[in-house]
Amino acid sequence: MNESPNQPDFEELEVLLLDSGDSDFPETSRERLNTLLRETAEARTFASELLFDDALLADSLSAEAAEAVFKDEDSNIDTTRQRKKSTSLRIAAAVVIGLIALSFAMNSSSSLSPTSVVATVQSTNRVSGLSDGQTFEIGERIELQQGRAVLRFNSGAKFAVEAPAFLTVTGPNEAELDAGRGTVRVPGMIKGFTLVTPTERVVDLGTAFGIEVTDNGTTSVAVFEGELELRGTDKPQRLFAGQSTQSVEPRSPAQSIPHLVDAFLNTWETSFGVETVTGDLRVARPGERLAPGLAVDSKTLLLFPEREGVSLPEGFALNATRTGLHERPFRKHVEHLSESLTVDSYLLQYNPGLDTSDSGNDRVFTAELRFDRPVVGLILAADQLEGSDAQLAMPGAQLKSIGRRGINIDDQVELSEDRRTLHIRMSIQNSVDQIRVLVDANA
């Protein structure tokens, strides 16, 4: 086996890729394959070439099978030249067979789901007429008369919208918003999520933004993170975090307006899967979220949504996975995930910005926090918090400036039986308390 991370073992990679087609491909081999691919760009390029070639091979061989279907018994001409000329035709024949089947599928309502779904309701809050997990195909309309809902598009983009709102799902990464207010967040590497309104075309370029469309079509946009482009006119307008605009007429340039944030705070929270927050706790506002190490608030606990859709391997170390009360001393200091999980991470923090440990002025903060998906783990101790920062904290979180992380001897965190609600009681003796909450990203 080649030891150098710069020189992938191509033969091993080839064997693993070939074996990976088997349904009983061992997990250890699968992990080794992923490790090799993570290590070098050369390994990924090599694998990509092999897999593209395999697809070509499969198509060519399928074409032969299709040719048998269409074979003209009277034709025995088989010169090399004609074989070459007919290559694309033969492959087309194979594909046409598939497309004929697809055509039948498209006209059969029973076979439309689940493959034609482009968006799913992740969660609802006091909504009638929509339910969690409800799916939408291209062209389907959503009318929200009350409450809030989070719509998750196949691209990964999330649109938290509050009533009254009227929109049509137009693709796996786009929708038309006729009226309503909401927050769009496009996590990770996904770009290009598009919202079309009566007066504007808003295209995400890696961002979080608020959008409001009034009954007369006026569209207000506020960029919270990253950037986006307004493409409602011939001259696209680029907007960055901290900027807001308003578009009144179709094909007229948007006008700058004072930055809007407060109007979107409800859907901002909802977009992160936070259903309710009560007591001495608030969700970090746009701007605060990206650097919890710099956020100071002596009056309340703060919840910072961190990275989303992070794959944690089996055996990942944390401090609690069970429901019930968690406090020091922990029943078991470190627990390990029994299976790999994809999670969204949240950092809950108290940081008054100065050390109050000697003031004798203890204060108890209590709060209740409900998520729209189950909590699968808690990280409560300083060493596990530090150990998980690389995978779960936002880039640039500035957490190194914070000492005394984790919870203290009098702090309590209780996870409800349905795993969605956390009851938090923190006795603020030291300067900082911090815990990390992991929520099942795919529930």
Partner 1 sequence: MNSPTPEDHPDAAFVSALTNLQSRLRGYCQAALGHGDEAAEALQRTNITLWKKSSEWDPEQDFSRWAISVARYEVLGVVRDRQRIKRRYVFDSDVAEQMIDVANERVEPNSARQEALESCLAKVSSKNRDLLSAYFVRGETFQEIATATGRGLSALKVAMMRLRRSLRGCIETQLGKEASA
CA–CA distance, 367 with 425 (Å, rounded to integer) = 7
Q: Hey, which residues between 316 and 345 contact partner 1 (CB under 8 A)?
A: 340-342
CA–CA distance, 375 with 270 (Å, rounded to integer) = 16
CA–CA distance, 165 with 121 (Å, rounded to integer) = 15
Q: Return the DSSP state at 235.
A: S
Beta bridge partner(s), residue 161 = 149, 182
CA–CA distance, 393 with 115 (Å, rounded to integer) = 34
Least distance CB 247 / partner 1 (angstroms):
19
Q: Which of 9, 12, 17, 265 binds partner 1 (CB under 8 A)?
A: 17
CA–CA distance, 339 with 441 (Å, rounded to integer) = 14
CB count, 10 Å around CB of 90?
Answer: 19
CA–CA distance, 205 with 258 (Å, rounded to integer) = 22
Stretch 133-172: interaction string toward partner 1, x if CB under 8 A = ----xxx-x-----------xxxx-----------x-xxx
CB count, 10 Å around CB of 226?
Answer: 17
Q: Which of 5, 309, 353, 396 binds partner 1 (CB under 8 A)?
A: 309
- Give me 21's structure tokens: 């087609």
Least distance CB 244 / partner 1 (angstroms):
28
Query: Which of residues 115 and 361 has its CB atom nearest to partner 1 in the complex?
Result: 115
Query: Which of residues 51 and 325 has its CB atom nearest to partner 1 in the complex?
Result: 51
Tell me: does residue 42 bind partner 1 (CB under 8 A): no
Tell me: does residue 364 bind partner 1 (CB under 8 A): no
Tell me: does residue 33 bind partner 1 (CB under 8 A): yes
Q: Which of 32, 67, 147, 190 binds partner 1 (CB under 8 A)?
A: 190
CA–CA distance, 213 with 200 (Å, rounded to integer) = 10
Q: Which of 2, 7, 26, 49 binds partner 1 (CB under 8 A)?
A: 49
Stretch 82-111: interaction string toward partner 1, x if CB under 8 A = -xx--xx--xx--xx-xx--xx-xxx-x--
CA–CA distance, 126 with 263 (Å, rounded to integer) = 19
Q: Which of 2, 7, 48, 82 binds partner 1 (CB under 8 A)?
A: 48
Q: Which of 8, 13, 118, 380 binds partner 1 (CB under 8 A)?
A: 118
Tell me: does residue 61 bind partner 1 (CB under 8 A): yes
Amino acid letter for position 353: G
Least distance CB 138 / partner 1 (angstroms):
5
CA–CA distance, 180 with 271 (Å, rounded to integer) = 15
Query: Which of residues 147 and 206 has its CB atom nearest to partner 1 in the complex?
Result: 206
Least distance CB 124 / partner 1 (angstroms):
17
